[in-house]
Chain A
Amino acid sequence: MKTAASFLGRGTLAVALLVAAIAPLGAQPRQTWPAIEAAARGQSVYFNAWAGDPAINRYLGWAAQAIEARYGVRLIHVKVADIATVVSRILAEQAAGRREGGSVDLLWINGENYASLMKAGLLQGPWTATLPSAAAIDAEEPSIATDFTLPTAGYELAWGGARFTLFYETQAVPSPPPQDPAALLQWIAAHPGRFTYPQPPDFLGSSFLKQLLLLLTPDRERLQRPVAADFDRVTKPLWAWLEAARPRLWRGGRVYPRSGQEQRRLLGDGEVDWSLAFNPSEANRAILDGELPDSIRALHFRGGALANSHFLAIPVNARAREGAMVVANFLLSPEAQARKADEAIWGDPTVLAMDRLAPVDRQRFAALKRGPAWPREYGPRLSEPHPSWTTALERAWIGRYGAQ
């Protein structure tokens, strides 16, 4: 009896050990963070990120140096004019059967680009929970848990926040400035040729449409669900506003700036009196750089500002997966986030929750200085509509004004 029991006991133990030994060969290995850091050392991470803003490029240059020094990972900023082209390259690589050794390790995306990659199953994940820095994020917060109403589900890591902001020239706009679409329309009517917005499908232009729609439509909740046959009914007030504004816009509404950056230049040159941005610090940074005069101020719409986050994601065929995770972890550290939020450097709002930070880290953010062009009134946050609304609005706008 005793021998049988001990035999069974030893046998069970043996089987258990055997199973424990074999199991990792079959299942997805659950790496610990130190193992990931070790594997990442020596890797080169190709980070495809929008390069339209030299300040962002310089910030990433700083990050690359810090990451190389601390983790031995080489961060290469692949400068991209439009992240959509990178998405198409990843899709093309998949179509060509390149399942490994892809050319993109880390992506800066959100919105419809995220949607296309998720739909094609081309993003790695879930991986965000593995990062130590992710502890400081409130993962339940809607602007972090969802990207244009689609769940991020650990496939995307929030990197920074955005709020739709308008900048204006105080020499042309009386105080108090217009703070809702109706007042803006009145100002436009009284000052022909001094207002415009970037041409959709530029994301800022499309966002302007969404911002107006959110404030003008009677049925805001409807926008959280996909587009359907009631598109015309829901968007009627938007087109009415645009039609009323169009003849009084810059260039009579026949030509539009190509991007927010171009419109900022128009503002600086004195061709228009308004500019739009998603980064509330943008005007302050431009004033510091000498790009804009210091008579510029900022505002959010009183009814609510369109808010979203932008994210980091890793493609499924990335070569340097661990390196990408190490980079993401660094970019989410309080040190990197505080530097990012510094107006003199970039000014991109942070995604870290202040109450989850240690006091010394909280102090980093408290110490940041704000220039005069900081929107004084913080209205409520309005979530992004479902991505199908963006595409539908763009198409409708192009149909009306894009091809005359």
Chain B
Amino acid sequence: MRALSPFLLATISIVPLVAGLAGAVASGWDASAWTALMNTPGLWRSVALSLWTGGAATAISLGLAHIAVALAGTSGWGGRLRGVCLPVLASPHLALGIGLVLLASPSGLLMRFVSPWATGFERPPDWTIVQDPHGLALIGGLVIKEVPFLIVLLMGALSQVNAGPLMQQAQSLGYGRLKAWLIAVAPLLQRQVRFGVAAVLVFGVTNVEMALPLGPTSPPPLAIRLLEWFTAADLAHRPQAFAGAWLLLTVTMAGLGGAYGAAYILGGMWRRSAFSGARWLRDDWVSRVTGTLILTTLLGGLLAIFALLLRTSGGAWRFPHLLPSRMSLEAWRNVAPDLGASVATTLLLGLATAGISVVITLFAAEALHHLKRARRRLGALLFIPLLLPQMAFLFGWQVVLVSLRLDGTLVAVCWSHTLFALPYVWATLAEQRAALHPGYQITAKLLGASDLRVWWTVTAPLLLRSILLALALAFSVSVAVYLPTLFAGGGRVATLATEAAASMSAGNIQSAAANGAAQALLPLLAFAGSLGAAHLLFRNRRGVPR
């Protein structure tokens, strides 16, 4: 099992990718599909929207994250920064998007806070805040979600770079904190985080989870169009959808190429700035502004979840009242029965995904703990699904599942969830396992413990915190994913994500809020449980790795 497990992981990841792409080729590679695609009104505007929203969101998030980590991450505030990021980080994109609609729209929570005393509005103003045609709301939503992610990513990379002394060196040479960061530390992190940033960009360009509640509707970004075509009644739209998936793939590659080019140009600017000698001593205002921005995004995320909870009540919520008119259990009657079923399915899938991905990864990490290159290669392979537009292979994957009569089964959905959870689980566990001092296992073996006992009594406890984190991560990924469930499940497996999206599309905001709230709470509980357990376990043992 141990020897086969890396191959098992690779198979879990590759089969849907290859099958999906093959299916997409088989179904969409003909002239009429492409003609239909090209004749779609507003197609290029959709493409432009996708690139614009994804690119701008990634650039802004990266900038803010760098500044945040530069100012807070290298000092003692690091742990607190990470902790503050966690609630928003754990919330699924879809739930957060729905919450932001409830927060930021003209009849949303924010306007209600300030009306009518500050604004004089007795009725909601006719402003287009969410779903604005330029995608600003979508960019905002993406930024709110990606800044914490990039902060945590940068901080993870930071621990492998000797940032503290470098910063001190640079500051002692007279540079302000930000410039010191820019010159001394940021380039070192660049290499470490480039795949993570690429994944963020790909998600920004190809997502539907944020675009559905917040993005423009006429025309919508390309990914939303593809979703509409693929799930339309008129099967005539299908080949067009497949062709569109290829277009999306091309657009994504173009986006990544553009990012690479931008990085190159920025590199040139960096060189000039680094050698210019400018000290940037007066950067307090930057830290204040950025600090405020980041706190605002984090606060926004939390308020969005709060807004979700409020909206689960079904009663009329006449503007400008702060609370809905009926906050009683009665109001839950409309959503409760379906919600129960969705929660059960989501929990089942989440636990199964967490269990399967962590167990197989532990075996594979054990098998590869001394083989650095193999680990790197497997890690890269597992990461590929995050660098491709989900739709590019999920469409074809569904076609393959249908022909195998596996569509709509929980097994197929669990497989699809595991596929997306593995990159995170592998990243959490593999290097941690490899970083364990081999002497522990050797000593234990020589003291007479069997291989199994060595793993159970020595390796596993030392990895336990990482294992708990990996379980929480895999669970959260499973709860959050939408498109994999929709396609592998053939529309018949109802999780909180699919129900929230369906309700949002149908305009049933109460059901969307209820499903979204549950969807946001589950990962929070998982992380709280995992971190709590990690904190409690071995709290009297200082030597155990965190």
* Direct A–B contact in complex, judged by CB atoms less than 8 Å apart: yes
Interface residues in chain A, defined as those with a beta carbon under 8 Å from any beta carbon in chain B = 51-52, 54, 57, 61, 78-79, 81-89, 91-92, 95-96, 103, 112-113, 116, 192-193, 198-199, 250-252, 254-263, 265-266, 268-271, 289-293, 398-399, 401-404
Residue B287 interfacial (CB < 8 Å): no
> By the criterion CB–CB under 8 Å, are B41 and A403 in contact?
yes
* Cα A260 to Cα B508 with chains together (Å): 9
Q: What are 19 A-B residue pairs whose CB atoms fall within 8 Å in the complex?
A: A52-B506, A52-B508, A78-B492, A84-B233, A88-B232, A116-B233, A193-B126, A251-B126, A258-B505, A270-B107, A270-B319, A271-B107, A271-B124, A289-B334, A291-B315, A403-B46, A404-B45, A404-B218, A404-B219
> By the criterion CB–CB under 8 Å, are B126 and A252 in contact?
yes
> By the criterion CB–CB under 8 Å, are A255 and B131 in contact?
yes
Residue B491 interfacial (CB < 8 Å): yes
Interface string of B309-346 (1 = CB under 8 A from A): 00000111111000001100001011101100000000
Interface of A is mostly: helix
> By the criterion CB–CB under 8 Å, are B502 and A81 in contact?
yes
Residue B295 interfacial (CB < 8 Å): no
Q: Which residue of B46, B334, B490 is within 8 Å of A54 (Cβ)?
A: B334
Residues of A within 8 A of B6 (CB): none
> By the criterion CB–CB under 8 Å, are A85 and B218 in contact?
no
Residues of B within 8 A of A92 (CB): 235, 402
Q: Told that A78-B492, A251-B126 touch, could you supply 12 new A-B pairs with CB distance under 8 A?
A: A85-B231, A85-B233, A88-B238, A92-B402, A96-B402, A255-B218, A258-B217, A262-B506, A265-B510, A269-B316, A270-B107, A290-B316
Interface of B is mostly: loop
> By the criterion CB–CB under 8 Å, are A89 and B335 in contact?
no
Residues of B within 8 A of A192 (CB): 126
Residues of B within 8 A of A289 (CB): 314, 334
> By the criterion CB–CB under 8 Å, are A403 and B219 in contact?
yes
Residue B42 interfacial (CB < 8 Å): yes
Interface residues on B, range: 35 or more
> By the criterion CB–CB under 8 Å, are A259 and B233 in contact?
no
Residues of B within 8 A of A51 (CB): 338
> By the criterion CB–CB under 8 Å, are B508 and A291 in contact?
no
Closest to B491 in A: A85
**In angstroms, how far is the closest chain A Cβ from the Cβ of B307?**
13
Q: Given A401-B218, A402-B42, are A113 and B233 also a contact pair (CB < 8 Å)? A: yes
Closest to B130 in A: A255
Interface string of B501-534 (1 = CB under 8 A from A): 0101111111100000000000000000000000
**In angstroms, how far is the closest chain B Cβ from the Cβ of A403?**
3
> By the criterion CB–CB under 8 Å, are A96 and B403 in contact?
yes
> By the criterion CB–CB under 8 Å, are B507 and A84 in contact?
no
**In angstroms, how far is the closest chain A Cβ from the Cβ of B16?**
19
* Cα A92 to Cα B131 with chains together (Å): 33
> By the criterion CB–CB under 8 Å, are A268 and B316 in contact?
yes
Residues of B within 8 A of A265 (CB): 507, 509-510
> By the criterion CB–CB under 8 Å, are A252 and B234 in contact?
no
Q: Given A85-B233, A258-B507, A403-B42, are A269 and B219 also a contact pair (CB < 8 Å)? A: no
Residue B106 interfacial (CB < 8 Å): yes
> By the criterion CB–CB under 8 Å, are A403 and B218 in contact?
yes
* Cα A292 to Cα B316 with chains together (Å): 6
Residues of A within 8 A of B319 (CB): 269-271
Closest to B508 in A: A261
Residues of B within 8 A of A89 (CB): 490-491
**In angstroms, how far is the closest chain A Cβ from the Cβ of B113?**
15
Residues of A within 8 A of B46 (CB): 403
**What are the 8 A-B residue pairs with the smallest beta carbon separation, nearest first?**
A262-B507, A84-B233, A403-B42, A259-B507, A193-B126, A54-B334, A403-B219, A81-B502
**In angstroms, how far is the closest chain A Cβ from the Cβ of B486?**
10
Residue B160 interfacial (CB < 8 Å): no
* Cα A320 to Cα B314 with chains together (Å): 37
Residues of B within 8 A of A116 (CB): 233-234
Residues of A within 8 A of B106 (CB): 271
* Cα A116 to Cα B234 with chains together (Å): 8
